[in-house]
Structure 1
Amino acid sequence: MHPLHPLHPLRPPAPEPTDCAPEARAGSLTSHPVPDEAIGDLLDQIAEQLGSPVPAHLQAALRAVPRHLFLPPTLWLRDGNGGHEPCDRESDPDRWWRAAYRDAPLVTQFTESPDGHRAPSSSASMPSVVVRMLRALSAEAGHSVLEIGTGTGFNAALLAFLCGADNVTSLDVDPELTRRAQRVLKASGQQPDVVCADGAGGWPPNAPYDRIIATCSVRTVPLPWLEQTVTGGLLVIPWDTPWCNFGTLIATKQADGTAEGSLAPYGSFMLLRAQQIDAELRAVIPREREGQEPERSTTGLSPWSVAGDDLDAQMYIGLRVPGVWHVWDTEVDEAHTRLLLADGRTSSWACVDYDGQRTTRFAVSQYGDRKLWDEVTRAYEEYVAAGRPGVHRHRLRLIPDGRSTRLEVSVPA
């Protein structure tokens, strides 16, 4: 899934002064391909992303489970303006086929809330990320696997090919998606056990599992996932913080009931439905209101340093400044570009303004019990002092804690 963070506007961050956004890689398919040609082209694209050939067993799985079989007639593609536009297989088959076999995520469903807000609610993951996660999962024939988030059914079909359909359980909370996946999987010849259920609870009837993989991100690993994994089993779970939606946890279940592992520098998925917070999903951009008296100051730390292209910095901040999210705003009268910060659980907010000219000093306003920009600044200073550790340097330990899990984070020297 593309980094369509449900808590942030569906538009890219404001570009840093003097920088320009790179163009997306164009697909190489130009007309209707036959499946073998299309899959071969896709394997080449994935190998380019991996920097090495796709492992033979995963090549076999991708050839046995053609991606286009699992895609709906209408896909939602990026429109170049931060939004999406429909692409219909019947009216624009060439474009639909190019999208189907391009190494890119595809939005397959939008959901509209009662207040009229539309947001992506399901997507087909980027194939190279699918391969990375399956490679990390190390699932083999006979392994019992639980997948959280059936979606289109494509990943469940790959798992069924690798492990045997009788060993794979896939959960999705959306009844419509579940029914469609069941039909498509049957037609494809792969029939894992697909259940409509809240993935946060795992699936006790088929537990325990040698492997658990999620195609949605989490901020807290649900306790049932830990409890339903065998000792020595692997969990491959996309990670999310309100600040940064990036990275995948690869953890091993320990004999004491904990799990330990590290983050891999890939993966940006929609949040597990049970962990989506309405207050943040409908987030009102924080602004100074009557009666509020924010503290005003200046900073030499560029907002692009903490909320720009440096995902290592963003992950470091996200793991150490809990509950704080950010948005870029280029439509305010007071500044050329503004970075807004807010804590969805309190009334605390902050903003950092770029005046369109000076890149060495920025105006800061902070309001509430938490001084959010100060917290972010301290976290960034720690990040720099630690040698700017990459996402992969973080070690995470999951500890059962009552009805949930507690997280310990470290960056080994």
Structure 2
Amino acid sequence: MTDHPSPAPRHPPSHAGSRHFLLHSGAMAPEWSDAFDAVPRSAFLPDVIWPYDMRTGRSAAVSRTTDPAAWQESAVANIPVTTQWDDGRHTGTAPGRIPTSSASMPSIVFSMLRDLGPRPGHTVLEIGTGTGWNAALLAHRLGAPAVTTVEVDPAVATAARDRLRAFGAAVEVVTGDGLLGHPAGAPYDRIMATAGLRGIPYAWVEQTRPGGVIVAPWGTHYGHGDAVARLTVSEDGTEAAGRFTRLVEFMKVRTQRLAWRGHAAHVPEDVTGSGDRSSTTLPETAFPQASFEAVTFAMGLRVRDCRHSVAEKRDGVRPVWFYGLSDASWAVVVFRDGSPESAVYQSGPRRLWDEAEEAYRWWVKEGRPGPGRFGLTVTRRGQRVWLDDPAHAVTPGD
């Protein structure tokens, strides 16, 4: 879905209860409490929404017209709410194939606003307007003229613009490619993205004042997960660098989505007869199903141009697949309950399993680092991930 499933209140939520939860959990800084009260998420949601059920991992439609109580409960709850499927091509109330626009969990929204740290007098460029709620929160704190938001989908942009005006927050909503930023309003004190990225564009660095801050979810194609990067632009304006703050999961920027060819394009039907066989003693916990785990994020930094998939466990057996994104390489490890060793099959120009095993052992050797020990530097030449210090770049096999 759209973001990390932080703990939710056990009882049916209320506005006051949600505020208490956000403050008590540390997700929301106290200075945002007034904005939370004044700008409810419900004011920016359409009549039909698809709240995400944290227990089942599924979404089901809720209509304000037919079930206003359930709609309001979902609007207040600390859950992500899908508002568009399949880039707008979806019709009906059944969930579509891919969620493509949403209202993020309040805990994620306010934790990212805390990372952004805007102050009165600052100007902010938001990439990914969505419902308009995040822009309205910024407008409440900074004033509408200080906020510009960019949305790639014309229908989503129009709906957000209308809701913002109706709410009295006449933020400038630009329809366009957010990866280009918005040069007309530059330079900005803060830039934040509300969609997952696999590459942060240098245009954002160029459009941020020296000393300004960029906050964006960033990750690799190894999995769906992201980590929030908080980058500060250097005094000479040539680069932005900083650490990751937390693990999340966001819908990806449209032009950076993975062009996935599917399992059958990589793996032959006869896996055992087509791949080289070996075994491993790595634990099954090296490959958790949840996208937002430290080990998954770290391994994605080391196993480049690779997608991995953790299958459901059946009869005590769980396969984990690896697919090369630049060639036809593939690998699979098969975990069996109670077995001290697991069978491995791999084939192709790359030894994907060997890379994955090395990446896990590297992560353990480095003390099992979480996102806060990793950082990102963005320059005109590209981006570089590092561990503990910008001089210690994370590269495969070092």
1:149 match:
128
Closer/same/farther in 2, CA of residues 353 and 99 from structure 1, 3 Å limit: same
| Cα deviation, residue 98, structure 1 | 1.0
| Cα deviation, residue 289, structure 1 | 4.3
1:410 match:
387
- Contact 1:103–1:126 at 8 Å: present in 2 too? yes
> CA deviation digits over 1:334-367, x for unaligned, max 9?
x822111112221111111123x33421111111
| Cα deviation, residue 2, structure 1 | 3.2
Unaligned runs of 5+ in 2: 393-398
- Contact 1:165–1:191 at 8 Å: present in 2 too? yes
Letter in 1 for 2:311: D
Question: Structure 1 length as normaliser, TM-score?
Answer: 0.85
2:350 match:
370
Whether 2:155 is the aligned partner of 1:176: answer: yes
- Contact 1:147–1:171 at 8 Å: present in 2 too? yes
Q: Secondary structure at the match of 2:369?
A: coil
Q: Secondary structure at the match of 1:2?
A: coil
Counterpart among 270, 289, 293 of residue 311 in structure 1: 293
Whether 2:45 is the aligned partner of 1:62: answer: no
Q: Percent identity?
A: 34
Task: Work out the CA distance in 1 between the residues paired with 2:75 and 2:274.
Answer: 52
Whether 2:106 is the aligned partner of 1:123: answer: no
| Cα deviation, residue 55, structure 1 | 3.0
1:100 match:
75
- Contact 1:212–1:229 at 8 Å: present in 2 too? yes
| Cα deviation, residue 256, structure 1 | 5.1
2:188 match:
209
Letter in 2 for 1:300: T
Q: Higher RCO, 1 or 2 (CA under 8 Å, sep at least 6)? A: 1
Deviates more, 1:286-295 or 1:104-113: 286-295
Q: Secondary structure at the match of 1:132?
A: helix
Q: Secondary structure at the match of 1:307?
A: coil
2:396 match:
none
Letter in 1 for 2:83: T
- Contact 2:229–2:243 at 8 Å: present in 1 too? yes
Deviates more, 1:287-296 or 1:116-125: 287-296
| Cα deviation, residue 176, structure 1 | 0.8
Letter in 2 for 1:109: Q
Task: Work out the CA distance in 2 between the residues paired with 1:161 and 1:140.
Answer: 11
Task: Work out the CA distance in 2 between the residues paired with 1:114 and 1:86.
Answer: 16
1:352 match:
333
Task: Work out the CA distance in 2 between the residues paired with 1:315 and 1:66.
Answer: 33
1:324 match:
306
- Contact 2:128–2:195 at 8 Å: present in 1 too? yes
Whether 2:243 is the aligned partner of 1:262: answer: yes
1:8 match:
none
Task: Work out the CA distance in 2 between the residues paired with 1:241 and 1:351.
Answer: 20
Question: Structure 2 length as normaliser, TM-score?
Answer: 0.88
- Contact 1:303–1:352 at 8 Å: present in 2 too? no
- Contact 1:172–1:197 at 8 Å: present in 2 too? yes
Closer/same/farther in 2, CA of residues 408 and 330 from structure 1, 3 Å limit: closer
Counterpart among 92, 112, 116 of residue 137 in structure 1: 116
Letter in 2 for 1:318: G
Number of residue-to-residue matches in the alignment: 381
Q: Secondary structure at the match of 1:278?
A: coil
Q: Secondary structure at the match of 2:304?
A: coil
Task: Work out the CA distance in 1 between the residues paired with 2:186 and 2:242.
Answer: 22
Letter in 1 for 2:20: D
1:196 match:
175
Q: Secondary structure at the match of 2:321?
A: strand
Whether 2:12 is the aligned partner of 1:29: answer: yes
Q: What's the RMSD between the two structures over aligned residues?
A: 2.7
Task: Work out the CA distance in 2 between the residues paired with 1:219 and 1:23.
Answer: 23
| Cα deviation, residue 70, structure 1 | 0.5
| Cα deviation, residue 332, structure 1 | 8.5
| Cα deviation, residue 27, structure 1 | 5.0
Unaligned runs of 5+ in 1: 5-21, 31-37
1:18 match:
none
- Contact 1:112–1:118 at 8 Å: present in 2 too? no
Equivalence map 1:378-389=2 (5 Å): 378-389=358-369
- Contact 1:394–1:411 at 8 Å: present in 2 too? yes
